[in-house]
Amino acid sequence: MSNPDVIVIGAGVIGLSAALALQARGLEVTVVDREGPAAGASAGNAGAFAFTDILPLASPGILKKAPKWLLDPLGPLSVPPAYALRIAPWMYRFWRACAPSRVAHSTAAQTALMDLSKAELEPFLAANGAAGMLRKDGSLQLYESEAEFRASLPGWRARDDHGIEYRHMDAAEMAEIQPGIAPRFIKGTFTPGWYSITDPRDYVLALAERFRANGGRIERAEVTALAPDSDGVAVIAGPRHLRASKVVLAAGAFSHRIARSLGDKIPLETERGYNTTLPPDALDLRLQLTFGGHGFVVSRLTSGIRVGGAVELGGLDLPPNFKRAEAMLKKAKAFLPGLKTEGGRQWMGFRPSLPDSLPVIGPAPATRRVIYAFGHGHLGLTQSAGTARLVSDLVTNQIPAIDLSPFSPTRF
């Protein structure tokens, strides 16, 4: 069997979106993944295309909340004691990224990628037979106090500067669009430009099916290293050596381990996300609800009602702590009294995050034959179509659709 033009490492939403975009440019593509399609964060996310989330996680606001959150081991942000020393260098970089000048830089870069991703999404879905999976129900951010609401206003004013539509609401207005919210939530902000997918796992499996139907191959193997030379790149997976003219590294939270084989020490960390998916009749949910003060969302999928979120900076190897999922579910019941919490399925997955909240998208410093596309944090699904466009531009030697310097692998 002949070597493909491109090997994409990673069968999540970023990798498969890129693979389909490369096929659309006439290239022969093979996807390699350690577990197969939709096995990681692409299966367990909240299903949102959060194009309005242009503000980086690394910001002065999060610094104000972090000390209180870190005191609660089951709160919105936690660092297991066994991982505290290992995460310290990343946390220092994160703290530096919270400087106002850096936040402004990251927001501008994030906005450019969001705008591109939103513009690319519907044509990408239509081209790949998935247009019917898109929903446009909006999202509602909820606040428990006037102080919490006022603290959110600078972020909404920043969205004003980028033309993002939203509407502040009182409790009565919120009840009109989503009945059953506990009276402790006195205000909210509705963003109508919030899209979602019917189910993220089903979506990624549909992308895999379309990729195979187009003649692509998906192989299961754990890639450990890349070895470029003048003619191409060897992809080393145990005793197997695969080969292609170019390689796209989109292996999510495991990407930095593979990048080390090219001499790159990229400070990728793992936000371990937790959720519980309840049966579809658990709640009459009409749009995504975001409880920002508690770090989780409740979203409606075809597979059920998903309660999930929060950030546990715990790496790839520690065992999961499902008490975090249970704590979120308990809060969700208090916030939505009509929620039926029986019969849920728990999940934990790895969200690949960089300290400035921007992904790495661009050629590896060692060779332009390897393109990096990882580190999207909470926004992999959201930014998948835009990243696919950028990857296909880079692989085919076209001028990228946006300035990629903020996403450079060398920025660290």
Express each pLDDT in 190-217 by its tens digit. 999 889 999 999 999 999 999 999 999 9
pLDDT for the residue numbered 134: 97
Residues 273 and 53: beta-carbon distance below 8 Å: no
Residues 166 and 52: beta-carbon distance below 8 Å: yes
| Contacting residues for 398 by C-beta, under 8 A, at least 6 apart | 392
Please tell me the distance from the alpha carbon of residue 260 to that of residue 248, in angstroms, as a whole number.
15
pLDDT for the residue numbered 71: 62
Query: Which segments in the chain show pLDDT lower than 50?
Result: none
Q: Across the strands, what pairs with 276?
A: 307, 346
Tokens of 346: 């728990």
For residue 73, with 0-12 CB atoms within 10 Å meaning exposed, 13-18 middle and 19 or more buried, which class applies? middle
Q: How far is CA 343 from CA 296, 309, 339, in A?
A: 20, 19, 12
pLDDT for the residue numbered 291: 95
Please tell me the distance from the alpha carbon of residue 289 to that of residue 308, in angstroms, as a whole number.
11
pLDDT for the residue numbered 42: 87
pLDDT for the residue numbered 346: 96
Which CATH number is 1-59+98-135+195-267+355-412's, of 3.40.630.30, 1.10.520.10, 3.50.50.60, 3.40.50.9100? 3.50.50.60
Q: Cα torsion for 190, 94, 407, 368, to the nearest 10°?
A: -150
* Residue type present at position 39: A
Please tell me the distance from the alpha carbon of residue 213 to that of residue 408, in angstroms, as a whole number.
33
* Residue type present at position 231: D
pLDDT for the residue numbered 64: 73
Residue 77's Cβ-side half-sphere holds a number of Cα atoms within 13 Å equal to 15
Residues 267 and 167: beta-carbon distance below 8 Å: no
Give tens-digit pLDDT for 3-21: 999 999 999 999 999 999 9
167: DSSP letter: E
Q: How far is CA 342 from CA 181, 279, 306, 345, 349, in A?
A: 19, 8, 13, 9, 22
